[in-house]
Amino acid sequence: MSKPRILVARAVFPETLARLEQHFEVEHNQADQVWSKQDLAARLRGKAGAFTTGTERIDAEVLAACPELKVCANMAVGYNNFDVPAMTARKVLATNTPDVLTETTADFGFALLMATARRVTESEHYLRAGKWTKWSYDMFAGAEVHGSTLGILGMGRIGQGIAKRGAHGFGMDVIYHNRSRLSPDLEAACKARYVSKEELLETADHLVLVLPYSAESHHTIGAAELAQMKPTATLVNIARGGIVDDGALAAALRDRRIAAAGLDVFEGEPKVHPDLLTVPNVVLTPHIASATVQTRRAMADLAADNLIGFLVNGRPLTPLNPEVLS
């Protein structure tokens, strides 16, 4: 019997590819080209499965061009690149990679918070530029992290990981806002207190965004919300570009309406709003929150397991629209 045909849409670990090749006839993209939507659809034609990353948009138009497609396995926990209702309507299974990246991503959220509050990259640039000629009492004085108030918007697995780091490691007072309140047990484990979005914005010394992107969460933080924050506050976005209005944020940073921001994700990335590149009080990283070798391997393995699980054994591990299976 011939093997099912799949497309691996971006470069992956050679070991992942070798494993997939044991089960499938694979068209790969080890040259790591970022294809246009038309190119992606053309390559998906005749394939039963796709190994995707957050950069491939799978929507009604792409699906209409690929009637043989049965499953798309995203190597990411976020899946706003998938139109899941459109996939469900066409009986295409969607999968993502939850859990395996939670702690690594929470570590990075905390690293970005620390780097932003304590002005790590700004001071390094100063040193590298040869500007450090003497020590002075207020040089790169930043904001206190330990003992301050940590606000978290979006309290899923990663938000809870950040809350635990803040509460248990840094003695922070943790407040959060989420669509639904955590159970008392989870709140106790995170030492986190549920507050309104307004109280969160007004009270947090450091506000970390970890909510999923959707039409509803577009520009959750814009000029009005930034105006509600303390002028001494730090904002960290490790969620998705588009949750923050980057233009409004750049203006708030320039005018010191908030103290600083740390951003791992951007509206329209890999493009970055030009105004963000001109303000010193922002730490910018290229969407690397889950990027450790171990975690990226675990994500690739889980995406591959989902393809093999579904196309070979009929049992995907982490389906997003399990109704397709029935």
- Interface residue list for ligand GLV (CB under 6 A): 54, 76-78, 101, 290
Contact between 9 and 31 under an 8 Å Cβ cutoff? The reply is: no
Would you name the residues annotated as active-site residues?
Answer: 240, 269, 287
d(CA 305, CA 321): 17
What's the closest the beta carbon of residue 148 comes to ligand GLV, in angstroms?
A: 26
Looking at the Cβ atoms of 49 and 109, the one nearer to ligand GLV is 109
Q: Scan for tokens 């233009």, then name that residue.
A: 247
CA 233 to chain CA centroid, Å, is 22
Looking at the Cβ atoms of 203 and 292, the one nearer to ligand GLV is 292
Beta-carbon contacts of residue 82 (< 8 Å; ≥ 6 apart): 58, 72, 74, 94, 320
Looking at the Cβ atoms of 24 and 79, the one nearer to ligand GLV is 79
What's the closest the beta carbon of residue 101 comes to ligand GLV, in angstroms?
A: 6
d(CA 169, CA 152): 16
What's the closest the beta carbon of residue 324 comes to ligand GLV, in angstroms?
A: 21
What's the closest the beta carbon of residue 106 comes to ligand GLV, in angstroms?
A: 13
Looking at the Cβ atoms of 145 and 211, the one nearer to ligand GLV is 211
In the complex, residue closest to ligand GLV by CB: 78
What's the closest the beta carbon of residue 290 comes to ligand GLV, in angstroms?
A: 5
Looking at the Cβ atoms of 75 and 145, the one nearer to ligand GLV is 75
Contact between 266 and 75 under an 8 Å Cβ cutoff? The reply is: no
Burial 15-32 (b: 16+ CB within 10 A, else e): ebbebbeebbebebbeee
* Residue type, position 29, single letter: N
d(CA 300, CA 136): 48
Strand partners, 27: 7
